[in-house]
Structure 1
């Protein structure tokens, strides 16, 4: 069970051979981002009778626990099957075949992420596509980072769920991150054809999301997509259009 009648996040049980009344608190620590995210999900779970929503909360909670249990990233190794290292920049990122793709994306992830860290995000939805940007100086053990995701509608109604774009809908994307008005980049994710381009720099933290600048580009599939995409960009994003390519500057 995800949540029992006592309101705890997990049924009482053993953690490392020790019986615990609140296993999540013992395993992850009450002050951890993992535990705070699980509390949020527990409250959402207990606040609804909808079985589909409860299943989603349950699955997301299990995913959060699984991620927290993996050892911290080491540059010489793959961080789970989901991330690989760019040792020249000291960052890690997701390859095209990342296992994260099977989970898709929906608004619930942003709710939990927003509780656990300081992040800014913008999203554009049109023609069954969702294109979303994120930036944060506080990805916890992942440090400072940024993301750009391309998703297609799953047809499922809960939390606006989208699937990671399939190969035919990958697009050329790139971005560079700057912090605290510096003219020197923190790191760059160079042009690649992808569905979820991202990068994270462990150990580089303490920067507000509003003090991170993301400069990048995306080449869309047709002129209609360019028009729909740029029409939804907020005033915090400056952009130029060159054919199907949109160059953006998000402060």
Structure 2
């Protein structure tokens, strides 16, 4: 392949695939090899061979910002969408992602973050507060309706993820994800729901649907 004829993102994606999504790495991921290494990186493998991020992963200390999206966009096929809202003078963001997670395969994520402010000055960096974790579910299908991964964890999530290493080389535009978020746990959560509902329920063509009675929100992405 003549890399000089490719776009910059095509070059970086080709290199990333060669280094990370090569047949040996994919085979090892599919068969659960290097379990301790994956665990240290923040992932656990379920009985179907699908990988999920641990809630105590080191990512909780790094938070999130747009640089992550730039890096992944140059490394693989992906799509992301932030959804911001304000509750009790604090800015929050749901961050949705779907795409090809290289050797981990087709996957999706939804995280809940709060904006970092420094001396009352807002920044573009978003922090993790594990106390904000909410009951979440994730269902990932292809564009023909075939199930790729489904995750309904028993513990609340600040970051829900699922990656199926048996589905390789997918295009993000061919993935369909449904996430649900349950805000019904306590008064604080219900207050967040009300703020989030006011922000997105009235928007034209909003990807979010809401159940006000049960304080739940669903995102089709």
Q: TM-score range by the shorter chain?
A: 0.7 to 0.9
Distance (Å, rounded) in 1 between the aligned partners of 2:122 and 2:77: 25
Matches within 5 A, 1:52-67: none
- Any conservation in 2 of the 1:177–1:188 contact (CA below 8 Å)? yes
CA contact (8 A) 1:240 1:248 kept: no
CA–CA separation in structure 1 for the residues paired with 2:201 and 2:215: 14
Q: CA deviation at 1:226?
A: 3.3
**Pairwise CA distance, 1:204:** 0.9
Q: Is the 8 A contact 2:51 2:164 kept in 1?
A: yes
**Cα root mean square deviation, aligned:** 3.1
Equivalent in the alignment of 1:124: 83
Contact 1:172–1:193 under 8 Å retained in 2: yes
**Which residue of structure 2 aligns with residue 84 of structure 1?**
44
Q: Give the C-alpha shift of residue 211 in structure 1.
A: 1.3
Bigger relative contact order, structure 1 or 2 (CA pairs below 8 A, ≥6 apart): 2
Alignment of 1:5-84 (within 5 A): 31-33=14-16, 73=29, 74-75=31-32, 77-78=35-36, 79-81=38-40, 82-84=42-44
> Quick check: 1:244 aligned with 2:215?
yes
Deviations 1:158-186 (CA, angstroms, capped at 9, x unpaired): 9711111232x11111110001312x411
Structure 1 stretches of 4+ moved >6 Å: none
Deviation at 1:209, TM superposition (A): 1.1
- What TM-score comes out, normalization by structure 2 length? 0.72
Larger radius of gyration: 1
TM-score, normalised with respect to structure 1: 0.64
Instruction: Give 1:155's match in structure 2, choosing from 117, 129, 133.
Output: 117
Q: Distance in 1 between matches of 2:123 and 2:61?
A: 16
Which residue of 152, 155, 158 maps to 1:195? 158
